[in-house]
A and B are shown apart, each in its own frame.
Chain A
Amino acid sequence: MLTAKQLSELSNISIRIRKNIIEMTHYAKSGHPGGSMSMTDIITFLYFNWLNIDPKFPKKEDRDIFVLCKGHAAPALYSAMAIKGFLPEEELKTLRSIGSRLQGHPDMKALPGIEMSTGSLGQGLSVAVGMSLALKLDKKKNRVYGVMGDGELQEGQVWEAMMSAAHYKCDNLCVFIDNNKQQIDGNIADVMGVEPLTDKLKAFGWEVINIDGHDFEQIESALVAADKVVGKPTVIISDTVKGKGVSFMERQLCFHGAPCNDDQKAKACSELDIKNGVCGCQI
């Protein structure tokens, strides 16, 4: 159970991450704010309340492994990593610029703490399955976590990996689906439906948990439950909202792959500041 203090800390961090996402993509004049903001609460919980990771020892033996399958949400990951201490928060400004460690999509060679280079959708889960099996082979207790997009599920390779993970009983593997119901060309249901997800994933042999992906308590209880599952992998279908946290960005396709302009950035940041209590005028 999370205490009120923990909850408010998590909420403050998630607001800070969202603000970083807005600012860094605005500064870079490119990037993917929408899908970064939909998974912000998930990455917040993982990085600040769950994963066994240490920015001082990014390669430590017993660490948990995190794979950002939907690599275009790198701004959310970089921001969480910065607040955690893997890199200076100031460095977020270098996102997508030449020579930066913060590549448009995560580059494991560039930045310690990134476990896998991603960006081409559909490939991350297979890699996570390989990691999970390697850990099992070495009789290690580390766990593997991932975040996938719901649109990403359209890639055939995802379902190949779903089969492998169940076949090999990867119970040290737990992936979130950032179920924001949108992709680039429109709503998932209109472009290429993926439902009924729960039934499909169950049929593929996975433990399936459904949660609200913006609710820290639900995220926690899902992770606790996943920890206890034996003999199969767990998927946490997390209902989320693309662009979550800034009123005019929510569910707006245009913010999938384009940042705020100057006005929008100012407006978004002041909305987030108000939420964070910076100007103390919520009531």
Chain B
Amino acid sequence: MSDLAMRDYYAKALIALGKVNKDIVVLDADLSCSTRTEKFAKEFPDRFFNAGISEQDCIGMSAGFACMGKTVFASSFAMFITGRTWEQIRNSVCYPKLNVKVCATHAGITVGEDGASHQALEDIALMRILPNMRVIVPADALEAEQAIHFVAKEAGPFYVRMCRGATPVVFNEGECDFQLGKNKVLKDGNDLTIMACGIMVDMALKAADVLKNEHNITAAVVNVSSIKPIDEENIYQMATKTGAFVTAEEHTIYGGMGSAVAEVTAKKCPIPIEMLGVNGVFGESGKPNDLLNKHNLTVQGIVDKALAVKSRK
């Protein structure tokens, strides 16, 4: 199956939701063609509001709509809709626990050529630390679509993180069943577990094959799309069963999914963990694949971390 873009499925979900729920409104900040919310705008022009290049106002207006009973989707690039607006999200969305879904596209280093100023590598951390905020990082377009349907039904603030490019399909049609607070074990194994999210999930599956075929190591692969709330029970189970983790995310290693997993193991079941992500630095311009290679966000990068963590067991 060919690669699919999460943002296209985001738009598909929005339109489906817009048809059945008259209270859905969508806001953007002058990036509606990139985030694909323009598709919703074409279908439901009176329920789409462009804030222009003013992300803070976009979040504030979203809060206002939510106060009046609307279910609000607010979109832009991950950099601007979580960074520029962090305090607005904290005080005007999370504190009053309003029904605003912050849905970002263009997260991570695979933004590519635009460079460091546009590559959000801290957004999971920024959103995860906020009380009342729930954080979802879909592994592929189908999971993104499901997650959007889910958050529309569930009251309160959410952050959904999507990337720019088309990404490999992880789930076959009908196989994906996104559940908030639930990890999904995609492959079983005994020697270690690879906890992955976003575009790293597909690579984790391939890395598990390499580990099996070339190193005779069986690695379990878990999709951690619900980063908050996180599936403590599954983390505990996998830790006791496999005794070592690799976490893999397209995000800084500080404060992201890996940290969320480590917070659980540190408390309940301390085990060696190797974290794969961007090593606390800014990104730069380049082709998405060149950048992934540079930061070892690759199948080989996961394999290397797996071998390292295995030796620490």
Q: Which residues of B contact A102 (CB under 8 A)?
A: 285
**Inter-chain contact B52/A97, CB cutoff 8 Å:** no
By beta carbon, the residue of chain B nearest A257 is: B34
Within 8 Å CB of B31, what residues of A? 184-185
Set of chain A residues within 8 Å of B290, measured between Cβ atoms: 98
B249–chain A nearest beta-carbon distance, Å: 21
Asked whether any CB of chain A lies closer than 8 Å to the CB of B284, the reply is yes
How would residues 231 to 249 of chain B score, 1 for a CB under 8 Å from any chain A CB and 0 otherwise?
0000000000000000000
In angstroms, Cα B30 to Cα A155, docked, is: 11
* A242 adjacent to chain B (CB < 8 Å): no
CB distance from B30 to the nearest CB of A (A): 5
With an 8 A cutoff between CB atoms, is B112 at the interface?
yes
Per-residue interface assignment for chain A, residues 163 to 192, with 1 indicating a CB less than 8 Å from any chain B CB and 0 otherwise? 000000000000000000001110010011
A152 is an interface residue with CB less than 8 A from chain B? yes
Contact B291 A98 (CB under 8 A): yes
CB nearest neighbor in B for A25: B113
Q: Across the A-B interface, how many residue pairs have beta carbons closer than 8 Å?
A: 94
| Interface residue ranges of B52-71 to A (CB < 8 Å) | 52-54, 56-57
Count chain A CB atoms within 10 A of each CB in B30, B52, B291 and give the residue with the most. Answer: B52
A156 touches B291 (CB 8 A): no
A119 touches B30 (CB 8 A): no
CB neighbours of B287 from chain A (8 A): 97-98
A105 engages B117 (CB within 8 Å) = yes
Minimum C-beta distance from B24 to chain A (A): 20
Shortest Cβ gap from A184 to chain B (Å) = 5
**Is B28 part of the binding interface, using a Cβ–Cβ cutoff of 8 Å?**
yes
CB closest chain-B residue, reference A102: B285
Contact B114 A183 (CB under 8 A): no
Whether, in the assembled complex, A120 has its beta carbon less than 8 Å from a beta carbon of chain B, the answer is yes
Task: Summarize A's interface: helix, strand, loop or mixed.
Answer: loop
Given the known inter-chain contacts A96-B286, A98-B290, please indicate yes or no for A105 contacting B118, CB distance below 8 A. yes
Asked if B212 is an interface residue, CB under 8 A from chain A, the answer is no
Q: With A183-B53, A192-B50 in contact, do A103 and B30 touch (Cβ < 8 Å)?
A: no
Tell me if B38 counts as interface (CB < 8 A to partner A).
yes
Contacts of A105 in B (CB 8 A): 114-118
Pair B117/A118 contact, Cβ less than 8 Å: yes
* Contacts A98-B286, A183-B30, A184-B33 given; does A155 touch B53 at CB 8 Å: yes
A51 interfacial by beta-carbon distance below 8 Å: no
Q: Is the interface of B mostly helix, strand, loop or mixed?
A: helix
B-contacting residues, A182-223, CB 8 Å: 183-185, 188, 191-192
Which B residues, 72 to 109, have Cβ-Cβ distances below 8 Å to chain A? 79-80, 83-84
Interface size on B, residues (CB 8 A): 32
Does B32 touch A at the CB level, under 8 Å? yes
Whether A151 pairs with B116 at a CB distance below 8 angstroms is no
Restricting to B257-294, which residues have a CB under 8 Å from any CB of A?
284-287, 290-291, 294
Q: Is the CB of B117 within 8 A of A154?
A: no
| Cβ–Cβ contact A119 & B286, under 8 A | no
- Is there contact, CB below 8 Å, between A120 and B51? no
Measured between beta carbons, the chain A residues less than 8 angstroms from B57 are 156
Chain B residue at minimum C-beta to C-beta distance from A30: B113
Using CB atoms, name the residue of chain A closest to B29.
Answer: A154
For residue A241, CB closer than 8 A to chain B, the reply is no
Q: B30, B83, B286 — which one has the most chain A CB atoms within 10 A of its CB? A: B30
Answer yes or no: A233 CB below 8 A from chain B CBs. Answer: no
A117/B50 contact (C-beta < 8 A), A184-B33, A185-B32, A191-B30 known: no
Q: Decide: B84 and A120 in contact? CB cutoff 8 A.
A: yes
Contact status B117-A183, CB under 8 Å = no
A113 on the B face (CB < 8 A): no
Docked Cα-Cα span, A118 to B115, in Å, equals: 11
Going nearest first, the 5 A-B pairs with the smallest beta carbon separation are: A192-B52, A119-B117, A98-B286, A104-B115, A154-B52
Interface residues of B, Cβ cutoff 8 Å to A? 28, 30-34, 38, 50-54, 56-57, 79-80, 83-84, 112-118, 284-287, 290-291, 294
Given A96-B115, A103-B285; 18 other pairs, CB 8 A cutoff: A30-B114, A31-B113, A97-B287, A98-B285, A98-B291, A100-B285, A102-B285, A104-B113, A104-B114, A104-B115, A105-B114, A122-B53, A152-B53, A154-B54, A156-B56, A183-B52, A191-B52, A192-B51
The 9 sampled A-B contact pairs (Cβ below 8 Å) are: A97-B286, A103-B284, A104-B114, A104-B118, A118-B117, A120-B79, A151-B30, A192-B50, A192-B54
